[in-house]
């Protein structure tokens, strides 16, 4: 997308060139046209391998690389179903078991060249293809492939928009609009695909930025490259909130299940909780380096102080996000402890019952040993010391009477005197 708009100075123009899934020739053409530094150009060509967010300043121009994270379309659909279930209770036959794996995150890498002083006239951004994170790809046929990829036309061109040889259509908006700073936006030209107006992932991600530029009196319409860069970073951080909502929904489901089932919860739930904790740790490691990128930009004096304030707000949102991720990880650990607590409690109950039964039958075992001894009197009759001759008519009732009497005495002692039962 190319956007040409005037700022406060009559002849000052601002352009935003956004390229998705580009190849090496396109990057080199743009590098020659806009005289980009060779080092960031090399990083852009190898954007798929840029795993760590970076920010560099070459002369008066900035180059940043950050990850883009968002929920897949399937995850968003499940999350909306879960929210509807919680608010309206409209789907009584809804199987919440199907919504356990709500968090499904896909990612891509984003690189941007931003012109600094004195012109602030150009932003060139690049995106790689959206791919489902390997940690979240268990339910997908092709791990690492985009979860919500539509049936795009084959043979996409270098810009990732349209088929080879298909020209880009320019949509002019020629109406002059006064800006709050006294300038006039003479025209905005959006370069969009002429025939491929599907739900492409790249276009949708920054669709809000385009709408804000088209809106009268918006900050982006009257701003420069630093304002566009702020808005791109702001959209990137805003897309992180649904991910937290998905994990909260998942943990609420687990919490209600554990409360209801207690020790009967399957071990699969504990495995899923451990997996969620690993995913959250991965998410935290992906997002945390972005704070360093923001701090570097905020400290640079080349940016307008008004833009810096907005960037500080993004930094606050990122810190809040990381704190919330840490809290959710703690909830995962607490739920696992709760499951283990229920199981330990059940084991203690089992051990308690077994110990009680063993104690109650102990008199019977003791009397069995005593009555089974082969003691005889002088006449050769079986006897038990202290109880006399054990004839059949007498010994049977004596054995069971003593057993029941001693067992009852132990029961009364435990329940009434010691209060153990």
What pLDDT score was predicted for residue 49? 85
In angstroms, the Cα distances linking 252 to 127, 322, 332, 335 are 34, 19, 10, 10
Which residues, at least 6 apart from 79, have a Cβ–Cβ distance to it below 8 Å? 71, 102, 242, 245, 246, 249
Q: Calculate the average pLDDT of the chain.
A: 77
What pLDDT score was predicted for residue 136? 65
What pLDDT score was predicted for residue 312? 94
The answer to whether 332 and 277 have CB atoms below 8 angstroms apart is yes
Quickly state the pLDDT bin for 371 (edges 50, 70, 90).
Answer: confident
Lowest mean pLDDT among 135-144, 183-192, 317-326: 183-192
Quickly state the pLDDT bin for 99 (edges 50, 70, 90).
Answer: low
Taking only the tens place, the pLDDT of each residue in 260-281 is 888 788 888 888 888 889 999 9
C-alpha 294/C-alpha 365 separation (Å) is 77
Taking only the tens place, the pLDDT of each residue in 217-242 is 777 877 888 899 999 999 999 999 99
C-alpha 368/C-alpha 365 separation (Å) is 5
Q: Quick check: 8 pLDDT over 60?
A: no
Upstream peptide bond of 160 is cis (omega within 30 degrees of 0) = no
What pLDDT score was predicted for residue 179? 34
What pLDDT score was predicted for residue 281? 93
Taking only the tens place, the pLDDT of each residue in 181-215 is 333 333 333 333 333 334 444 457 888 888 888 88
What pLDDT score was predicted for residue 95? 57
What pLDDT score was predicted for residue 89? 54
Kindly report whether the global pTM for this prediction surpasses the value 0.95.
no
In angstroms, the Cα distances linking 82 to 90, 97, 98, 246, 388 are 11, 11, 10, 9, 77
Taking only the tens place, the pLDDT of each residue in 38-70 is 999 999 998 888 878 999 988 888 999 999 999
Q: What are phi and psi of 69, to 5 degrees?
A: -125, 140
Taking only the tens place, the pLDDT of each residue in 327-338 is 999 999 898 888
Which residue has tokens 């891509």? 108
């Amino acid at each position: 997308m190319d956007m040409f708009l005037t700022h406060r100075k009559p002849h000052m123009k601002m352009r935003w060139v956004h390229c998705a899934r580009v190849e090496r020739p396109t990057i080199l053409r743009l590098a020659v046209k806009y005289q980009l530094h060779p080092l960031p150009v090399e990083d852009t060509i190898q954007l798929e391998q840029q795993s760590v967010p970076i920010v560099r300043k070459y002369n008066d121009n900035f180059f940043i690389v950050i990850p883009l994270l968002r929920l897949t379309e399937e995850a968003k659909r499940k999350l909306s179903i879960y929210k509807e279930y919680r608010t309206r209770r409209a789907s009584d036959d809804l199987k919440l078991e199907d919504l356990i794996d709500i968090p499904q995150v896909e990612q891509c890498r984003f690189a941007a060249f931003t012109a600094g002083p004195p012109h602030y006239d150009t932003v060139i951004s690049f995106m790689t293809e959206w791919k489902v994170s390997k940690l979240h790809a268990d339910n997908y046929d092709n791990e690492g492939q985009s979860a919500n990829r539509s049936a795009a036309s084959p043979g996409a061109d270098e810009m990732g928009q349209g088929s080879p040889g298909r020209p880009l259509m320019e949509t002019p908006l020629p109406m002059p609009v006064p800006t709050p700073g006294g300038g006039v936006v003479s025209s905005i030209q959006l370069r969009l695909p002429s025939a491929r107006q599907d739900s492409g992932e790249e276009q949708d991600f920054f669709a809000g930025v385009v709408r804000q530029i088209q809106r009268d009196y918006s900050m982006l319409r009257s701003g420069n490259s630093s304002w566009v860069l702020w808005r791109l970073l702001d959209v990137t951080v805003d897309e992180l909130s649904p991910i937290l909502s998905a994990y909260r929904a998942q943990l609420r489901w687990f919490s209600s299940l554990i409360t209801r089932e207690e020790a009967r919860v399957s071990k699969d739930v504990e495995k899923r909780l451990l997996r969620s904790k690993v995913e959250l740790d991965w998410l935290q490691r992906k997002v945390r380096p972005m704070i360093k990128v923001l701090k570097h930009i905020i400290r640079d004096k080349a940016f307008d102080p008004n833009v810096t304030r907005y960037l500080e707000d993004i930094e606050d949102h990122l810190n809040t996000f990381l704190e919330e991720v840490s809290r959710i990880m703690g909830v995962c650990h607490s739920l696992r402890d709760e499951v283990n607590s229920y199981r330990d409690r059940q084991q203690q109950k089992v051990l308690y019952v077994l110990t009680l039964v063993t104690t109650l039958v102990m008199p019977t075992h003791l009397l069995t040993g005593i009555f089974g001894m082969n003691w005889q009197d002088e006449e050769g009759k079986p006897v038990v010391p202290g109880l006399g001759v054990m004839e059949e008519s007498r010994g049977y009732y004596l054995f069971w009477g003593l057993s029941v009497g001693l067992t009852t005495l132990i029961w009364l002692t435990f329940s009434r005197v010691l209060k153990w039962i």
